[in-house]
Structure 1
Amino acid sequence: MSFENNSNGNEKEERKYSHERNKSDELQLSRTDMNMLIMNYLVTEGFKEAALKFQQEAGLQEPALCSSLDERIMIREAVQGGRIPEAIAMVNSLHPELLDNDRYLYFHLQQLQLLELIRAGRAEEALAFASATLAEAGANDANALTELERSLALLAFPDPHTSPFADLLLPSHGQKIASELNAAILKMENQEYTNPKLCSLLRMILWSQSELDKHNIKYPKMTDLANATIGQPK
């Protein structure tokens, strides 16, 4: 009898899961909508050539390219290439008031310049630059001070790349600041979207799953965002 009850319970769980998957399938984006999300990401982040090529391959209408797209591409390349003074000069030429109004963003760019000196092993120049350029920001902003301390802590290690703060030297850190700067430029130009819709959707997924987990609710969980892998409720 207990076996039958267990069997019936498993069948109910399977039917419930099947129903949930069917509902999930009904909410799936169409290929056109997904292509538009990808296009929005490429245009917003400033990948012009990729956007135009994707437009041709996906059969979409020509993307609406922002007037500053070429400038944003050059600025992103300068930031990710470690050419921070060049990037700052281009930003000041494009929007002179941007970095004056957003001092935390300006601090992040100067922090990248400090990290480039540390990466090159120019410790004395790094300390002098931090003292002359970044100390004031650290004194006025607790978050900036913490980030400055983490950056300077790299100098305490013979090989900064093996330190607990080595994440600051990874390409992903420069990419993060480049995206932050890109969004700030789009905001200055009153663009509707300053961050890709795809990124907003992924953040919403993570937040929703976190809330469901807090309440111990079973649901088809996305276990791998990169591959969109959805696991069976446990």
Structure 2
Amino acid sequence: MTNTNTSSQTLGSRRITSVIAPTLPPTASESFERGTPSDIAGLPVRVKVSRNRSPDYLTEALELEQPSSASAVPGKRAPLFTTVQGSTFSDSSSSPESGVLTKRNGEKESSGPADEGHPQAAPKPLNLPTQWNQKDKNQTLDISTNGQRITYSGLGEEDKHAGAVRSNYCIPPQCGLFYYEVTIISKGRDGYIGIGFSTQSVQLNRLPGWEENSWGYHGDDGHSFCCSGTGRKYGPSYTTGDVIGCIVNFMSGTISFTKNGVWLGVAFKNAIESIKGDAGLFPSVGLRTPGEIVESNFGQSKFKFDIEHHYKEEKARIWSEINDMPLPTLSAPTDEQADASSDINQLILSYLIHHGYSETAATFQKDTASMRASPGTSVVPFDKEDIRKRQLIRDHIVEGDIDEAVMLLDEFYPTILAQNPHLAFQLKSQRFIELMRTVTTSSNAMDVDSPSAPAPSSAEDDMRSVVSYGQAMQGEFGAFENSLVQNALVETYSLLAYRHPSDSAVSYLLDPANRLLVADVVNRAILKSQNRPAVPAIENVYRQASAVAKELFDGGSGVAAFVKARECL
């Protein structure tokens, strides 16, 4: 029987077709007073879609880490201009089919892969089993409106009168380990109840475990059944009031059960590997005699069994196996093979130099000078003056003084902005935000009934200066038809639409943490201009580990749920 349950809905977002140049009409102050958008019509609206919530023990497992830059600020929404691809501003002669976009003047620009450090698109959410499927059940079973309670309504005279049901979604292997519980509300006449798992190809007129690709733990005799009608002694029988839990472990390929919060041990080894074909595994329950009623819990309420502790134990076991594995021996590099990545001390030193920790780098280099593997091991170039310049520029950006940072860039690296419109775009967008921050502060001061409050005309002049700067940005970057650039401009300009931007829907633009993202982009651009790595080697190692975990996750491997690169730090 085919599972006809539909997946969660998706929302299409409206595509912005033009960038609105900032203007300040005579009636704009009225819009500011109302606190509603005035001339920034057509902004994309972000709608939070409600999806089935994962149980607490799976929250961390399904939180996929992205191979993005360590400079990203976790848990915070970054402005769009901080994630615009550098290739967006690069001319290209490639064909439109290869992802090339066109400028308004007819020239072409690339929309290639994102620069280092920019986060990739979020993975598609996984659907977990949350209730029993009304359209994937035997006719002898009745399911409550909330999809949790099952009642047997058949004849119950022969084995062929049994009925089974599957959950609304199959279990994604990416969760690593999945658990659900079933409470026996009534054992009915005989208590012929089977609880377990099955694939969608299994018929629904038998108890779980009696068919191929089906596994079950039965209540009348406590036997476990694996893909056949012949069971073996496994655990105690269960009856009215008992709570039976089911665990499938995609890492070890095992299925086990619990009774009233007590783990009964592994019931089926290598169960996952024995599944015939590319089939998904569904929680499944079967009933056989009149009066049998059960109710499930897929994480909507607290489990009887401490699954979180069990999950942590399994995770610790896997990490122990990983840590016990012998590491390959690396031979000392020759002069020709010397590479900083062959020496962990050089990896750390290159990280410190990259991010401008000059004093720490100098101390670390001195302390580890006698610890090098061999005379042939390379040493990371150390130019304290270059570090000082990069750190000075970074400090000004982090403090919000974009003008001073740009002046220092022109002084120390005179060609970098002219050759890098992507860098100029990010700096000017951040400067627009800093100007708005100043105007917002002045506007708040005007609201205070004080003789020292600034005159309204001064605040209006400041606002017109901000608008004038935004129009200049529009003239410079509005020629790019790339939707990423246009959306970033619209988002940035939307600060003008609110009387109090710090309390508006785009208040995240004013978060000082965003300065760090811009500062890191500037630092990478300087290093690239010197033909030096834009990303330190140790960060590449972390990204590679994260990318491997992501590939495992996308491929449906349960390993990714237990092993995350960030836990090695």
Asked if Structure 1 and Structure 2 have the same fold, meaning a TM-score greater than 0.5 normalized by the shorter chain, the answer is yes
Count the aligned residue pairs.
Answer: 222
Give the corresponding residue for 1:103.
421
Residue 169 of structure 1: how far off its partner (Å): 2.1
Out of 140, 155, 176, the residue aligned to residue 496 of structure 2 is 155
| 1:79-110 C-alpha deviation (Å, 9 max, x unpaired) | 11112122112112222221111111111111
Give the corresponding residue for 1:22.
321
Out of 411, 432, 436, the residue aligned to residue 93 of structure 1 is 411
Query: Equivalent residue of 2:478, what SS?
Result: helix
Q: Equivalents in 2 of 1:164, 1:60: separation in Å? A: 50
Gap change, CA 1:9 and 1:100, over 3 Å in 2: farther
Alignment pair present for 1:118 and 2:436: yes
Alignment of 1:39-54 (within 5 A): 39-54=349-364
Gap change, CA 1:224 and 1:204, over 3 Å in 2: closer
Residue 145 of structure 1: how far off its partner (Å): 2.3
Alignment pair present for 1:3 and 2:302: no
Q: Equivalents in 2 of 1:24, 1:159: separation in Å? A: 53
Query: Equivalent residue of 1:120, what SS?
Result: helix
Give the corresponding residue for 1:172.
513
Query: Equivalent residue of 1:171, what SS?
Result: coil
Out of 356, 359, 368, the residue aligned to residue 60 of structure 1 is 368
Give the corresponding residue for 1:188.
529
Structure 1: gaps spanning 5 or more residues: 230-234
Whether contact under 8 Å (1:46, 1:73) holds in the other structure is: yes
Q: Equivalents in 1 of 2:495, 2:506: separation in Å? A: 6
Q: Equivalents in 2 of 1:156, 1:204: separation in Å? A: 42
Q: Equivalents in 2 of 1:38, 1:51: separation in Å? A: 9
Letter in 2 for 1:75: I
Alignment pair present for 1:70 and 2:388: yes
Q: Root-mean-square deviation (CA), in Å? A: 3.4
| 1:143-189 C-alpha deviation (Å, 9 max, x unpaired) | 33221211111222333233333333223321111111111111111
Alignment of 1:209-224 (within 5 A): 209-219=549-559, 221-222=562-563
Alignment of 1:191-206 (within 5 A): 191=532, 193-206=533-546
Give the corresponding residue for 1:80.
398
Query: Equivalent residue of 2:545, what SS?
Result: helix
Greater helix share, structure number: 1
Structure 2: gaps spanning 5 or more residues: 1-231, 236-254, 257-264, 272-312, 329-341, 370-378, 440-461
Give the corresponding residue for 2:347.
37
Q: Once the two structures are aligned, what percentage of the paired residues are identical?
A: 24
Query: Equivalent residue of 1:130, what SS?
Result: helix
Query: Equivalent residue of 2:557, what SS?
Result: coil
Whether contact under 8 Å (2:400, 2:434) holds in the other structure is: yes
| Structure 1 length-normalised TM | 0.78
Q: Equivalents in 2 of 1:33, 1:199: separation in Å? A: 15
| 1:176-221 C-alpha deviation (Å, 9 max, x unpaired) | 1111111111111122x22122332333333222221122112163
Whether contact under 8 Å (1:107, 1:134) holds in the other structure is: no
* 177-186 or 66-75: bigger deviation: 66-75
Letter in 1 for 2:234: F
Query: Equivalent residue of 1:140, what SS?
Result: coil
Query: Equivalent residue of 2:409, what SS?
Result: helix
Whether contact under 8 Å (2:549, 2:564) holds in the other structure is: no
